[in-house]
């Protein structure tokens, strides 16, 4: 099963990359599919790409659901 995870954009970089915060873990992702993204936006991340910009309430609701199923979250994020 594939799952898109909400993440907050904390930095926009060159080459259409961004640093995001996913449950306290930072990752660099591609923002080719979401050219309108800005620092502070929440995006859904799948396979290293931001696939959609979402509002903060939707992101939080999804994060709360993910936390209810720890087997869906990697070990480094659970801690």
Name the residue with tokens 């909400």: 6
**pTM for the predicted model, two decimal places:** 0.83
Q: At 43, which CATH number? A: 2.30.30.140
pLDDT, tens digit, for every residue of 11-59?
999 999 999 999 899 999 999 999 999 999 999 999 999 999 999 999 9
Element (H, E) at 65: helix 56-67
Confidence of residue 78 (pLDDT cuts 50, 70, 90): very low
Q: Which two tokens stand for residue 35?
A: 């050219």
The rounded distance, in Å, linking the Cα atoms of 43 and 68 is: 20
User: How many structural domains does the chain have?
Assistant: 1
3-state secondary structure of 73: coil
pLDDT of residue 57: 96
pLDDT of residue 38: 98
Domain span at residue 19 reads: 5-78
More confidently predicted of 4 and 44: 44
């Amino acid at each position: 099963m594939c799952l898109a995870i909400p993440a907050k954009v904390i930095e926009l970089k060159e080459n259409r990359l961004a640093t995001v915060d996913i449950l306290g873990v930072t990752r660099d992702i591609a923002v080719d599919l979401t050219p309108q993204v800005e620092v502070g936006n929440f995006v859904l991340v799948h396979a290293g790409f931001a696939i959609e910009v979402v509002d903060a309430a939707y992101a939080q609701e999804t994060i709360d659901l993910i936390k209810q199923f720890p087997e869906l979250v990697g070990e480094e994020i659970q801690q």
